[in-house]
Structure 1
Amino acid sequence: MLTTDQVQWLFLGLVAVLVLSRLFGAAARLLRQPAVVGEILAGILIGPSLFGDALTNFLFPADTRPLLAAFANVGLALFMFVIGYELPFDELRGKAQVALRISLWSVAVPFVLGVLLALYLVRDHRVHSQLGFVLFLGTAMSVTALPVLARILTDRGLGRTRLGGIALAGAGIGDVLAWLLLGLVVTVNGGTGQARLLLVPLGLTAMLTLVRPLLRRVFTAAEGSGGTTSPLVAVLAGLMLSCWAAEWVGIHFIFGAFLFGAVTPRTQRTDVKSELTVYIESLSSVLLLPVYFVLSGMRVDLSGIGFAGLGELVLILLVAFAGKFLGAFAGARLSGIPRLQSTALAALMNTRGLTEIVLLTVGLELAVIDASFYSLMVLMALVTTAVTGPMLGLLERRAGGNARQLGEFAYERQGFSSLRRERT
């Protein structure tokens, strides 16, 4: 039972998150940056890096933080559902070969470089499993944040161009690979209920053969009756059950949320689709996710980083930039995409943002990484996300100052006849 004092501070804490996320998010957008950059910076600024624990304890007393964390986890589950539900399957039509090649290269190269860096750094950090740390850093370097990338493409007018479609499809495939790799890390790190992990294939089969057809029937009935409440209730209930099942078998609940979103049938009725995306995403992004990102920022402590930490940060940034850039650029060039557009794709694939923060927080909670390394990796996520916009602006100017000229192109190599028949 919550005390009156806890209830009061819970609501005041939510107000503080709303105000901070709105102010810093708006400031980030003024600088043509994703709002999540501002929200995480807000958490960093009120955290121990500048003021110790004084401001944090004043705004968010220790006995209310578990309650805020519960709100944040619900928001994260809703967010991961939307990510799975909005995987850009439509963008793969006619682009599958190119998107797959770019995605594989943009995951494989940073993963290998991240593993090599981890082998060098692991001795300086207290971790639960050295193998888990090595695999985790490779995975963290491989991430591209699909939601942030989609927002950048829309803001830049590249969303409906050939370049934008390939970037979205490649990032979607990369997201799936990243979550699979993180699942491997969780298993290697020794989560709870390891014997239950044997039930994962059975759960996947049930999702495809039972859950998906059942949801399709619910959607069909709603489309016939004109109602929208039943699909929303069914999806939310199924989402919570999927998150519970993922935790029960010993993997993180985000995998259950993501998978449930991926198997949920796509409906043709606009109002039902709005219920599943606009309403859920609005609730998540306005209140619950800002709680998650502000709390994530508060965990960053840069006060004791020192020269050794700065050296690690430089190495992390170099590997992060070089791995993603070289991998995506190589995949694009091998697909016959011109050099300028290949450079743009490489810049876009370096966007980490939301997805990276989620992955890092999971790693910290599971003791795959320690608090100091978490702080450095959050900085890497912010920097790599922040530079994407300016890089695209520079490339647009090289393309003639027009986003459409950057986004549309002809393949250079005559051997890729199937690629030239790509539908846009």
Structure 2
Amino acid sequence: MNTSELFLIAMTIIFGLPYLVWRLGRTEYWAPLVVVQIVGGILLGPGVLGAAVPAYYQFVFTPTVIQSLNGLAWWAVMLFVFIAGIELDLRAAWQHRRESGITAGLALGMPLLLGSGAALVLLNQAGWMGAQAQPWQFVLGIGMACAVTALPILILFMEKLAILRQPLGQRILRYASLDDIAIWGVLALILMDWQRVGRQAAFLGIFVLCAWAMRRLMQAVPERDRWYLALVWLALSGFVADWAGLHFMVGAFLAGAVLDAHWFDQDKMDLLRHHVLLVLMPVFFLSTGLRTHWDSGGVAVFGAAALLLVAQLIGKLAGLRLAGRVLGWPPGEASLIGWLLQTKALIMIIFANILLDKQVITAETFTALLLMAVASTMLTVPVVTPMLARTAAPR
């Protein structure tokens, strides 16, 4: 078969298999389609499908096919992160800055601390830290992976639970938005390349000037032109950030964060996010699954995933309970918010992909983080649903 035929076989598997499992297995309650697609990516990778039927795996997923899939995956995840940046609502966070600052700080700080402790445990064993990493980069990277909240998936879950537009849902969005900014700031610190610090300083200076000019331009043109200009701005920002030695994902997030959401029709933006998730992101999940490895042994990888899962769960719940005590929340509300904010999925997977690209972590560590992200996301709805039934009406 030629490359185009193999590519289309791979695309059929990517979209068909997870959908059949989701629909026929009726997994929506504990594993929405996006989670099934992530798990499907892992199962289709070299660690499972490649080990079970290596001949078929090598026949379909040739280097050329994988390269083509990676190109689609890069653009998909850039769009996704870009939209997340646009939808940040910092004005609301500023209006409620004391509550938002205390909650977001503890929600990020406690799992970061415990996750960093788990990273120190892994650091004492060979095979977990990447070849290009300093110990502090590895520890901070793993700690931040444990602290991440997947804002886009959180929105999907709160829509499913019918609390997104309620006051409680809007508060949770504020906390997650502030943590989103911190996550990308810490990532930029981890990726700081002192041999190319001049380029990175130049990037920041040029970006500030270009962002100012872009904002002026976006306000001067009609909305239909803003969508096209936004895509050009996204591609250029990603390119310059990657050239500076950061990562194109950092550029994609910054490109979205400097634009105002009200410049775009909200219904169209919601549709764009939905269509990116539907049409492109499954390719990213498969591309992610192709990077999973179990060379350290399945038991060790699952053990590391369990350690990280426990660290992030305890950290997130402890941080929110402390915030609830300081701010005087009603009984049960802190745990409810903590379980929602521990949702990992997409953003943590993107974060871990970047760490793997930059060789801060190994493929085995990446696999453990991926398993932790899947487990934390699958726990959310089954745990939160009965909690909502017991909790008093949100403020």
TM-score surpassing 0.5? yes
Output the CA distance in 2 between the equivalents of 1:77 and 1:306: 31
Residues 11 and 193 of structure 1: CA distance in aligned 2, closer, same or farther (over 3 Å) = farther
Output the CA distance in 2 between the equivalents of 1:69 and 1:25: 24
Could you tell me how far 1:24 is from its partner in structure 2? Answer: 4.3
Output the CA distance in 2 between the equivalents of 1:191 and 1:386: 39
Could you tell me how far 1:28 is from its partner in structure 2? Answer: 7.0
Could you tell me how far 1:274 is from its partner in structure 2? Answer: 4.4
Instruction: Work out which of the residue numbers 385, 389, 394 in structure 2 matches 1:397.
Output: 389
Q: Which residue of 2 aligns with 1:333?
A: 325
Could you tell me how far 1:191 is from its partner in structure 2? Answer: 8.1
Instruction: Work out which of the residue numbers 342, 362, 365 in structure 2 matches 1:350.
Output: 342
Q: Map residues 260-299 of structure 1 onto 2, 5 A cutoff.
A: 260-267=255-262, 270=265, 273-275=266-268, 277-278=269-270, 280-299=272-291
Q: Identity of counterpart residues, as a percentage?
A: 26
Residues 148 and 397 of structure 1: CA distance in aligned 2, closer, same or farther (over 3 Å) = same
Q: Which residue of 1 aligns with 2:70?
A: 69
Output the CA distance in 1 between the equivalents of 2:298 and 2:19: 32
Q: Which residue of 2 aligns with 1:215?
A: 218
| Contact 2:129 2:361 (C-alpha < 8 Å) held by counterparts | yes
Residues 340 and 88 of structure 1: CA distance in aligned 2, closer, same or farther (over 3 Å) = same
Q: Structure 1 residue 20 and structure 2 residue 17: aligned?
A: yes
Could you tell me how far 1:268 is from its partner in structure 2? Answer: 5.8
What amino acid does structure 1 have at the position aligned with 2:235? M
Could you tell me how far 1:12 is from its partner in structure 2? Answer: 2.7
| Contact 1:68 1:291 (C-alpha < 8 Å) held by counterparts | yes
| Contact 2:317 2:334 (C-alpha < 8 Å) held by counterparts | no
Instruction: Work out which of the residue numbers 213, 229, 250 in structure 2 matches 1:234.
Output: 229
Q: Which residue of 1 aligns with 2:150?
A: 145
| Contact 1:348 1:388 (C-alpha < 8 Å) held by counterparts | yes
Residues 381 and 191 of structure 1: CA distance in aligned 2, closer, same or farther (over 3 Å) = farther
What amino acid does structure 2 have at the position aligned with 1:321? L
Q: Tell me the TM-score normalized by structure 1.
A: 0.85
Q: Structure 1 residue 196 and structure 2 residue 168: aligned?
A: no
Output the CA distance in 2 between the equivalents of 1:252 and 1:274: 30
| Contact 1:333 1:339 (C-alpha < 8 Å) held by counterparts | no
SS for the counterpart of 2:332 is helix
Deviations 1:125-156 (A, max 9, x none): 34222221111111111100001111111111
| Contact 1:28 1:38 (C-alpha < 8 Å) held by counterparts | no
Gaps of 5+ in 2: none
Could you tell me how far 1:297 is from its partner in structure 2? Answer: 2.1
Could you tell me how far 1:232 is from its partner in structure 2? Answer: 1.7
Residues 24 and 82 of structure 1: CA distance in aligned 2, closer, same or farther (over 3 Å) = farther
Output the CA distance in 2 between the equivalents of 1:55 and 1:192: 43
Instruction: Work out which of the residue numbers 359, 376, 388 in structure 2 matches 1:367.
Output: 359
Q: Structure 1 residue 96 and structure 2 residue 75: aligned?
A: no
Identify the range of structure 1 (337-346 vs 5-14) with the bigger mean alpha-carbon deviation: 5-14
Could you tell me how far 1:254 is from its partner in structure 2? Answer: 0.9
Deviations 1:267-297 (A, max 9, x none): 3663xx445x245324421222110012212
Residues 241 and 269 of structure 1: CA distance in aligned 2, closer, same or farther (over 3 Å) = closer
Deviations 1:167-226 (A, max 9, x none): 111001101101111111111xx48734201113313421442111111112xxx25xxx
Q: Structure 1 residue 48 and structure 2 residue 46: aligned?
A: yes
Q: Which residue of 2 aligns with 1:253?
A: 248
Output the CA distance in 1 between the equivalents of 2:349 and 2:176: 16
Q: Structure 1 residue 161 and structure 2 residue 166: aligned?
A: yes
Could you tell me how far 1:259 is from its partner in structure 2? Answer: 1.1
Output the CA distance in 2 between the equivalents of 1:213 and 1:180: 25
Output the CA distance in 1 between the equivalents of 2:329 and 2:19: 39
Output the CA distance in 1 between the equivalents of 2:226 and 2:152: 24
Identify the range of structure 1 (313-322 vs 360-369) with the bigger mean alpha-carbon deviation: 313-322
Identify the range of structure 1 (44-53 vs 102-111) with the bigger mean alpha-carbon deviation: 44-53
| Contact 1:43 1:296 (C-alpha < 8 Å) held by counterparts | yes
| Contact 1:364 1:374 (C-alpha < 8 Å) held by counterparts | yes
TM-align CA RMSD:
2.3
SS for the counterpart of 2:172 is helix
Output the CA distance in 2 between the equivalents of 1:59 and 1:241: 33
Output the CA distance in 2 between the equivalents of 1:308 and 1:11: 35
What amino acid does structure 2 have at the position aligned with 1:66? Q
SS for the counterpart of 1:193 is helix
SS for the counterpart of 1:251 is coil
Q: Which residue of 1 aligns with 2:191?
A: 186
Residues 269 and 387 of structure 1: CA distance in aligned 2, closer, same or farther (over 3 Å) = closer
Deviations 1:11-64 (A, max 9, x none): 332232222343345457523433321111111222233331444323322221
What amino acid does structure 2 have at the position aligned with 1:49? G
Gaps of 5+ in 1: 400-404, 410-424
Larger Rg: 1
Runs of 4 or more off by more than 4 Å in structure 1?
24-29
What amino acid does structure 1 have at the position aligned with 2:170? G
Output the CA distance in 1 between the equivalents of 2:72 and 2:99: 39
Q: Which residue of 2 aligns with 1:205?
A: 208
Q: Tell me the TM-score normalized by structure 2.
A: 0.91
SS for the counterpart of 2:64 is coil
